[in-house]
Structure 1
């Protein structure tokens, strides 16, 4: 609904802008055949959104799902073709790579399309960006939210809970870690437990780690699973664990030796205690430097100067204040971000864009420039302040 709302009434065909003052007329044209590589964790909504955006600019699109997501993407395709048929439009405007879907076929698609977008793992994004095809590729996330001493604790706990459990934590925008100021740490932990969070002790944390990672790699058998499945896989015998909505582990370190500091794709929330707000920022920077730099973070606060400080200091393209991160990163009816399921992380993430992917990325623009009355700026306007300070030579 949000993506459709963003598209409705927007010009994307022919003359889309005419500025008489500058003499510039903008004419929108298709980029051509779009290749869209989509993640296994979101094989339905992500290609649906990208297809809407691509079609808005009169492009064709070929979706490349992961092998695990092929059946879902094919089901989506049947729905799309039903609608195209009603309109009398060519069904081949939207296609899905035929089975068997594999890495070689996806790489070949990357090379042959006119324009490419890749949403997903670091490896897939790297392949897209080195394919030689013009592209907008966006990386994975690892959202960190800070809760400072001035936050509305109950509201923050509720929003973090909603963000953590959405779609069993398969989104790049689910909260993965929370950094809490020491002054409200106990209160916040209690509030998170009231929301259904189960705090693992040290032994249970080790059991959970063994269930989530095997030989240093994420165990696919515990990705996107219900809490009860994870509790069983980790042999968490406590009845409260078996009934939990999500799990919490306390952590102090960051990096490969501390796998809970990265993106987990599981209903597991990593908790850090910060001495104060400055310490919270440093901890968050460390987490994002390890995994997720550029994507996003959140802040729960009622202190305006903290919003300004984190905005200036944090290397992220999205900073959400007092919001459900997973619901707001990709646009929301109560914030000003455009709706999408593909979010750029800027140069921090090795991406070409900081933006939320939109239909505008699927347009070529011809700028027609007409002559206008010449306006040459006087030298004083350009160098006056410099001359005043350093003298004119």
Structure 2
């Protein structure tokens, strides 16, 4: 941002942000020196603010009412599952005082707060994401100010109120968690980004880019467009069940939802049949253009079909009556790129299907899909040949390769996945992100290194340069 633009933001928006920052600074100062037990009490309190069943239900209903995205039962599951899993991860970690000791290297590491975190949160998860980020920030003894999507503001305001009430209940400053007052504007959000000590952004790529240009340390994440491969060794029925469960969860609001499946020729027909048995409906090729013209309007995804129920899509696509019973829809495609919009992220109950001659061709196709959209994010493989999984992990430019998973339930952390629970997934430099892992509590810590003398570790010149001298001379 230019200095003139920064001054403009400051003059227009300084007052509300300055007030929030003053309160956050005071609250964080009072919290900064608590011990691990007290920090964990605060984390539990924030988790309970959303996990409590009646609140999860209330906030799920409010989110769907406000945004029109997803469905209530799955949002309840998401709120409780993500919160529970994140709490598990956080309570197992140290974030206060000495957190690591390496006697051999003479190093001891101490965790310190970063200060005040600014969190930009999306409309797809207006209840779960603010709590997820707040829990991680509070684990590090920071304060947090949330800039929510305007579309989900009521939901985020309500959950922030619950978090503040839970903090007060255990005798901690409510202002450890705050929200930007409505209406949320780009200018106010930018002013927050400029003022805080760390910015964490989940949502639009415009917000991510502005965070990285704010001059404040920032963590932003990239767009998803997950492709998965089904090879000829896969358990086709198990793969179909997992893909269905993942694709339809919360009406495909997740960035980890499968957007394309690439099936090798040897099992193509059988795999399609398995997907149909679990509720997939294969749209005939003659109707593909209708799907495209309905899903995209003026080059943008049609907000009236995003994350909506399957019967609504069936009607919009002009499908036969039997399609009303489908759980999701499959459309066959061959091309990738701007001229083939189905090769991109859809945030809808539509799965693009590609046919590949063999695994090598499927791998190439997945690479093309990711190069078009979603590079760095993740991909999936259904197989019994783990050598192929390793090959993908070695060769593909993604942060995560998931094997035999319902992608949505493994990518952002799962009870059968070693990845950290999160709603914010880094995509590395492939999408100009500063992290190539799942956002977790470590990203909210400053680390002090205590360094003490160790026996000298100085190799000889021969040890270091010997191979070079032997091969190329001195």
Question: What interval of TM-score do these two structures reach, taking the shorter chain for normalisation?
Answer: over 0.9
| 1:282 corresponding residue in structure 2 | 364
Q: In the alignment, does 2:456 pair up with 1:366?
A: no
| 1:353 corresponding residue in structure 2 | 435
Q: What is the aligned counterpart of 1:306 among 385, 388, 402?
A: 388
How far is the alpha carbon of 1:204 from its aligned partner? 2.7
Farther off after superposition, 74-83 or 89-98: 74-83
For 2:459 and 2:361, the matched residues in 1 are separated by 48
Contact 1:119 1:140 in 2 (8 A): no
For 1:240 and 1:269, the matched residues in 2 are separated by 18
Q: In the alignment, does 2:296 pair up with 1:213?
A: yes
Q: In the alignment, does 2:192 pair up with 1:109?
A: yes
Q: In the alignment, does 2:328 pair up with 1:256?
A: no
Once the two structures are superposed, the pairs formed by residues 182-221 of structure 1 within 5 Å of their partners are: 182-221=265-304
Tell me the alpha carbon deviations over residues 343-392 of structure 1, each in whole angstroms, 9 at most, x when there is no partner. Answer: 1101111111101100000001111212222221122322233334344x
Q: In the alignment, does 2:180 pair up with 1:97?
A: yes
Farther off after superposition, 78-87 or 185-194: 78-87
| 1:71 corresponding residue in structure 2 | 154
Q: What is the aligned counterpart of 2:418 among 324, 336, 356?
A: 336
TM-score, L = length of structure 1: 0.96
How far is the alpha carbon of 1:103 from its aligned partner? 1.9
For 1:384 and 1:367, the matched residues in 2 are separated by 33
Q: What is the aligned counterpart of 1:375 among 451, 457, 464?
A: 457
Contact 1:198 1:240 in 2 (8 A): no
How far is the alpha carbon of 1:198 from its aligned partner? 0.9
Structure (1/2) with the larger strand percentage: 1
- Matched positions, count: 391
For 1:325 and 1:50, the matched residues in 2 are separated by 22
For 1:231 and 1:96, the matched residues in 2 are separated by 39
| 2:35 corresponding residue in structure 1 | none
Contact 1:182 1:276 in 2 (8 A): yes
How far is the alpha carbon of 1:14 from its aligned partner? 2.0
What are structure 1's unaligned runs of at least 5 residues?
Answer: none
Q: Equivalent residue of 1:176, what SS? A: strand
Q: In the alignment, does 2:238 pair up with 1:155?
A: yes
How far is the alpha carbon of 1:313 from its aligned partner? 1.5
How far is the alpha carbon of 1:2 from its aligned partner? 1.1
What are structure 2's unaligned runs of at least 5 residues?
Answer: 1-83
Q: 1:18 to 1:312 in 2, by over 3 A?
A: closer
| 2:121 corresponding residue in structure 1 | 38
Tell me the alpha carbon deviations over residues 13-51 of structure 1, each in whole angstroms, 9 at most, x when there is no partner. Answer: 122223333221211111111011111111111111111
| 1:177 corresponding residue in structure 2 | 260
Tell me the alpha carbon deviations over residues 165-203 of structure 1, each in whole angstroms, 9 at most, x when there is no partner. Answer: 111100110000000001110000011111111111134
| 2:311 corresponding residue in structure 1 | 228
For 1:241 and 1:207, the matched residues in 2 are separated by 15
Q: In the alignment, does 2:402 pair up with 1:320?
A: yes
| 1:139 corresponding residue in structure 2 | 222
Tell me the alpha carbon deviations over residues 93-143 of structure 1, each in whole angstroms, 9 at most, x when there is no partner. Answer: 111111111222212211111100111222221111111110111112110
Contact 1:113 1:133 in 2 (8 A): yes
Farther off after superposition, 180-189 or 3-12: 3-12
Structure (1/2) with the larger helix percentage: 2
Contact 1:342 1:357 in 2 (8 A): yes
For 1:110 and 1:308, the matched residues in 2 are separated by 39
How far is the alpha carbon of 1:146 from its aligned partner? 0.4
How far is the alpha carbon of 1:323 from its aligned partner? 0.7
Contact 1:210 1:234 in 2 (8 A): no
Q: Equivalent residue of 1:222, what SS? A: coil
For 2:451 and 2:349, the matched residues in 1 are separated by 54
For 1:286 and 1:40, the matched residues in 2 are separated by 29
